[in-house]
Structures are given as C-alpha cells and as structure tokens.
Amino acid sequence: MSIVRVKSQFCHGISQYDRCSPNSACTCFYIAGALGVGICGDECVHHPRCHNHPVCYPIPSFNQKLCPPITTTNTTMTTISSTAPIMTIPITTTTVSSSVTPDKGICATATWAQNGQTVAGGNGSGSELNQFDRPFGLFVDENQTIYVADRSNERIMKWKRGASSGELVAGGKRQGARDDQLHYPIDVVVDQDETLYICDYNNKRVQKWLRDAQSGQTVIKNIAASGIARDNEGSLYVSDWTENIVKKWRVDETIGQVIISGLNRPCLLFVDLNQSIVVADHWNHRVIKVDNETTQISIVAGIGSAGRDENKLNLPLSVAVDQLGTIYVADTKNHRIMRWPRGAISGNVIVGDRGEGSRSDQLSEPSDLSFDSDGNLYVVDSGNNRVQKYSIDKSSC
C-alpha cells in the first residue's frame, strides 16, 4: 500500500458551507464511522477508513497555496494511506473557539431567544400554501430551507428561507394510496439531491420522491412508519409505531434489521455522528439510545414516568443530538424544548414552558425540532400550525 500525505487540516460538518479552505475545490474526505469529520484535501483519495467511493478533484498539483486554511494555529505532519503517490505537505490544524453548530457541538452555555419567529405557516389551520393543518415532522437543509410533513393536508411542503408561503413537493391530492398520494404523512428526511423519504403512516409505507417528481415510489412496505432518519451511508432507520421497534435498511436491502424492540410507541428518531440511534419512546416518557459500537441500550432523557420536573418528560415526540452528545427533546405535552447534556440525570428548558398558547414565547404540542448550521433552533409548533425559529445567542458561548 502506498502512502499519500495530504494537508490534513481537520474539517467538520457535511454542508458545502463548512469547507476546509477559501478554495471551493478543497473538500472533506470523511472518515467512516465519524460522520461530519474528515481531512481536507483536493486529491483523489480511496482508503478503507474513508467511504467506499473515492472523492476526486481535477487539480494539477497539491500545495499550500491551493488549499490555504481558513484559520491556523500550528503546523505538524501526518499521513493517511491511499493508492495515490507519495506527497509531503505541511499540515495546518484549525482552532475553533466557542463552536455553536450542531455538527461541532453546541456549547453547554448556549441560550436562545425566548420569542420565536414564525418562518413557516402561522396563518391558521388550512390548506393554502401559506398554511398547515397539524404539521408534524421537520427537516432543515444547509440553506435553511424547511421541509414539513403537513399531515392532515396529506402533503409535504417546502419553505425557502424568508418565503411567505410554501411549495408543494409531494402529495396534496387528498388522502389515498396511489403513488401520487399520501395519507397522514408523519415525517420526512431529504438527501443532498433533494430526494424525499416520507413516512406515509396510514398507508403503512415509506415513500421515495425524487426532486420535482409527480409521484413517489414505495421503498418500504407494511410498516406503521412514525419516524425516519438517514445516515451518511444512505441507510434508512424507521420507527414502527405498532410493532414498537426501530429497523434499519441498508442501501438496496429489502429486509430491515431490528435495531431495538420493546419500546412503547416509538416516534421520531435521530442518527448521530457515530451512527448511534436516539429515539423518542413516546408512551414511556423517555428517550432511548442504542450505541452503534457497543449495541448498548440506555435511557438518555426522562425516567419513564410523566411529569414537569427537570428529570421528567411528558409524551416526547422528537429528539436531536449534537456532536457533544447533548440531547434536545420536544417535550410535547409540557409544551417545551429541553436540553439534556451527555450523561446528565436531568435536563433544562431552553424554549417554551410558559403554558400552552400561541404567543411568540409559547408552544402548543411541539412535535419536532432541528438546528441549522448556525445553531438556530427550529420547532414544529403543531398545535399552532406553524414552524418557529429561535435565534441562538452566540455571545452566550
């Protein structure tokens, strides 16, 4: 095996906005098992520790000028194995002060505005393009475009940043089981090609809709799909509401693998950077984690009984996790969003908890949450038929 030395400034994140260098040709070569963490470079790399497919950029030479670091503090050397020729390049390492993005971990002292800004919906219950009817699942992409499972309208809506109304991207043709219809869609996840994977709950299937498609394709059948996530290898993870399990489908697999069983109405779920699974165990008033490396199952939020104390949840529906292992929970019946630091036995409220209501500082049965690359928080305020954005206070870090 030959050795290539690349400018191994560590890079984080999975979006085009988290580059290694001002040179847009420089990219992350992601390390397998560490989603969002890799080594900067602009050469073709294919190595067992990286993804199966090499990443290549047609740069005639590889040097410090081509990939100047964004920030540097010191210089050292390292190597990675590859089939490319030997090259010796100075390494630069990046210092990050007070990181606030979810992929790098949101600092433990972060706070958010207590008054949310409505960025989708908020115009009452209805089926117009600027309305929702009991929205549920949420996906926020790298451009801060919002995708929402508008369940009672039997559709998926896309809201671009700053838009006053949304765009219909799937369903919306009344409830039904045709390929161009949905029936009570619960959740949605979107890949980089804007392909949608939808929990079509009442049709007991997962649908795949290509960008601009007029109909979908059933990729998983006979499942009461109540939550969906996708990892960096393209595997799908789906909660089954009636079977009380979570299953995993690798690419091109037709039979899913049971990852966890014995839950009590599992709902929305999250796959973290290590491909560990975190799921809202709804009727057990807790959040469960399955460690990918050890397969150990643990309770990471809640104690299994409903309540308003800081160590309790009340019918949680959704979770999110940052790279520090902090758990964020949509504590639905308590009308609040909670943060549970890694290993903590209790959490703290970050937004809501001011009684159920429609003021900008209140929530009504929040069903899902997500973060953008700046650490701003988005919440599906289901009872108010809106999506709220809570800006992070970066000075708090």
Span 203-220, pLDDT tens digits: 999 999 999 999 999 999
| Whole-number pLDDT of residue 71 | 39
> Which of the residue ranges 110-114, 278-282, 293-297 would you say has the lowest mean pLDDT?
293-297
- The two tokens of residue 196 are 């949608």
Q: Is pLDDT at 35 greater than 70 in this prediction?
A: no
Q: Which of the two residues, 44 and 381, has the higher pLDDT score?
A: 381
Least confident stretch, 62-71, 139-148, 166-175, 337-346: 62-71
What percent of the chain clears pLDDT 90, i.e. is strictly above it?
69
Question: What is this structure's pTM?
Answer: 0.76
Average pLDDT of span 241-247: 98
CA end-to-end span of the chain, whole Å? 44
CATH number of the domain residue 374 falls in: 2.120.10.30
pLDDT of the residue at 67: 40
pLDDT recorded at residue 389 = 98
Residue 327 confidence (pLDDT) above 90:
yes
Q: Identify residue 302 by its one-letter amino acid code.
A: G
User: For residue 103, what pLDDT is reported?
Assistant: 57
Overall average pLDDT of the 379-383 stretch: 98
Q: CA of 389: how far to CAs of 263, 352, 368, in Å? A: 31, 12, 12
CB under 8 Å to 175, separation ≥6 — which residues?
154, 181, 182, 183, 184, 202
**Lowest mean pLDDT across 96-105, 143-152, 248-257, 328-337:** 96-105
Q: Would you say residue 305 lies in a domain? A: yes
83 found inside a domain = no
Residue 48 covered by a domain: no
Is 61 a domain residue? no
- Answer yes or no: is 296 within a domain: yes
Q: Is residue 216 part of a domain?
A: yes
pLDDT of residue 302: 97
Enter the DSSP assignment of 85.
P
- DSSP for 141-163, please give it: -TT--EEEEEGGGTEEEEE-TT-
Structural domains counted in the chain: 1
- Work out the average pLDDT over 84-104: 35
In this prediction, residue 273 carries a pLDDT of 81
135 within domain boundaries:
yes
Does the structure show a pLDDT above 90 at 47? no
Q: For the ranges 41-55, 160-174, 229-243, 290-304, which has the lowest average pLDDT? A: 41-55
Confidence of residue 39 (pLDDT cuts 50, 70, 90): low
Is residue 243 one of the residues assigned to a domain? yes
Half-sphere exposure of 319 (CA within 13 A, CB side): 35
Q: How many CB atoms lie within 10 A of CB 217?
A: 12
123: containing domain:
111-393
Q: What is the pLDDT of residue 102?
A: 62
Does 391 have pLDDT greater than 90? Answer: yes
Mark 136-163 as b/e (b = at least 16 C-beta within 10 Å). Answer: bbbbbbeebbbbbbbbbbbbbbbbeeee
Mean pLDDT of the chain: 81
C-alpha–C-alpha distance, residues 85 and 98, integer Å: 38
pLDDT of residue 101: 53
